[in-house]
Amino acid sequence: MPKNLNIGLVGGGFMGRTHSNAYCKVFHFFDLEYKPVLKAVCALPEEAARAFADKWGFESVETDWRQLVTRPDIDLVDICVPNNLHRAVAIAAAEAGKMILCEKPLARTVPEGQEMVDAVEKAGVPNLVSYNYRRIPAVTLAKQIVDSGKLGRIFHYRANFLQDWTISSNLPQGGDSLWRLDVAVAGSGVTGDLLAHCIDTALWLNGPITDVNAMTETFIKERHHQLTGKVEPVGIDDACSFFCHFANGSLGLFESTRYARGHKALYTFEINGEHASIGWNLHDLHRLQYFDHADDSQVRGWRSIHVSDGDQPYMNHWWVPGLQIGYEHSFVHQVADFLEGIARGEPAGPTFREALRTQQVCDAVLASAKEKTWKEI
């Protein structure tokens, strides 16, 4: 018989929906020892919390996260609130002995993230940071191919995350839906929000980054602030590019912006090795591009692998071979891996400690751009 695992979700926005959907679906598709139960959601105002609870099937609501994290009937606290609250909620949840799943980035800064790592490790509670793109089957397949050594020595790692939703100068900053533009809440702009995804995948696939050299730009310097009602300086980076060295000797090139007109959420990466290369693109997320120099020269070329067969990562849990899945499923896989890890006593990654490495790269990138110099990690 599976054991019930009571979920307490803090935050009822976009990410709260992706995580709730994952808890609803995971037990139908994966054989798990733990069955998630949507016990409580915490959001403000209370009507919004009730509406969210009714829609997703949460049994109860809270309006103060401190109440939620100490409730004896909650086993797992899921943090889906803006970045400035991650630290306080995570530390309180750890002290209350709860398992924690926290949205990315871990924190606004390394010192905040370090406190969170210390808290979960002191409490000995299972913990995971939601870098969901690792769990797109094509990206997980890329990890398996890299780990098999098929690429040989790696020369280049290249990644982009491009959006265009903040180009208008009339867009305000701050408040429920636009906190990502408010540096006090978000910590940074595209670096913590988008490049953090690219860095997490890169560290996972290609190992540690040793030093970085970055530039950032804030194209729109002032915006109306929704909470203060005043026009205030914009403190986030609208765009950031950096290059770096990896410990394995390869060179990295990363770019992210919210000013690439026409691109809504285009995350791409490519790895070039001595024998083979791989590439992936979020807008074609079920495909992995693969070039193998060992192929017969007459038919050698880029293969576009449709990652939808039962022997490819995660796919045996879904429909029948050939029927592809999408973005939402990365969150279902994340919950499945987290719960399986808890059952086995082997944590799924990235743990808070592993996600702190991404935070270290983000902080070094921002410091490098500010000081116009190389920064070691």
d(CA 309, CA 265): 26
Q: Indicate whether 193 belongs to the interface with ligand SOE (CB under 6 A).
A: yes
Tokens, residue 69:
């994290």
Q: To the nearest whole angstrom, how small is the minimum distance from the Cβ of residue 342 to ligand SOE?
A: 24
- Interface characters, 104-143, with ligand SOE (x: CB under 6 A): ----------------------------------------
H-helix segments, the chain: 14-29, 46-56, 65-70, 86-95, 110-123, 137-148, 183-186, 190, 196-206, 327-344, 352-371
Q: To the nearest whole angstrom, how small is the minimum distance from the Cβ of residue 10 to ligand SOE?
A: 17
For ligand SOE, the closer of residues 9 and 162 by Cβ is 162
* # residues contacting ligand SOE (CB under 6 A): 3
- Shortest Cβ contact with ligand SOE: which residue? 193
For ligand SOE, the closer of residues 163 and 216 by Cβ is 163
Residue that has been written with the tokens 């192929």 in this structure: 295
Q: To the nearest whole angstrom, how small is the minimum distance from the Cβ of residue 352 to ligand SOE?
A: 17
For ligand SOE, the closer of residues 193 and 337 by Cβ is 193
d(CA 124, CA 144): 30
Q: To the nearest whole angstrom, how small is the minimum distance from the Cβ of residue 101 to ligand SOE?
A: 15
- Interface characters, 246-275, with ligand SOE (x: CB under 6 A): -------------------x----------
Sequence-separated (6 or more) residues with CB below 8 Å from residue 328: 18, 21, 22
Q: To the nearest whole angstrom, how small is the minimum distance from the Cβ of residue 132 to ligand SOE?
A: 7
Q: To the nearest whole angstrom, how small is the minimum distance from the Cβ of residue 329 to ligand SOE?
A: 14
Q: Indicate whether 182 belongs to the interface with ligand SOE (CB under 6 A).
A: no
**Strand order from edge to edge, sheet including 3-10:** 60-62, 34-42, 3-10, 76-79, 99-103, 127-130
Tokens, residue 103:
């949205």
- Interface characters, 2-21, with ligand SOE (x: CB under 6 A): --------------------
Instruction: Return the number of other C-beta atoms located less than 10 Å from residue 361's C-beta.
Output: 29
Q: To the nearest whole angstrom, how small is the minimum distance from the Cβ of residue 197 to ligand SOE?
A: 6
Total number of residues shown for the chain:
377
Instruction: Return the number of other C-beta atoms located less than 10 Å from residue 370's C-beta.
Output: 12
Q: Is 181 exposed, middle or buried (0-12, 13-18, 19+ CB in 10 A)?
A: buried
For ligand SOE, the closer of residues 160 and 163 by Cβ is 163
d(CA 181, CA 235): 8
For ligand SOE, the closer of residues 154 and 282 by Cβ is 282
Q: To the nearest whole angstrom, how small is the minimum distance from the Cβ of residue 130 to ligand SOE?
A: 8
For ligand SOE, the closer of residues 32 and 185 by Cβ is 185
Residues in the site for ligand SOE, rule: CB under 6 A?
163, 193, 265
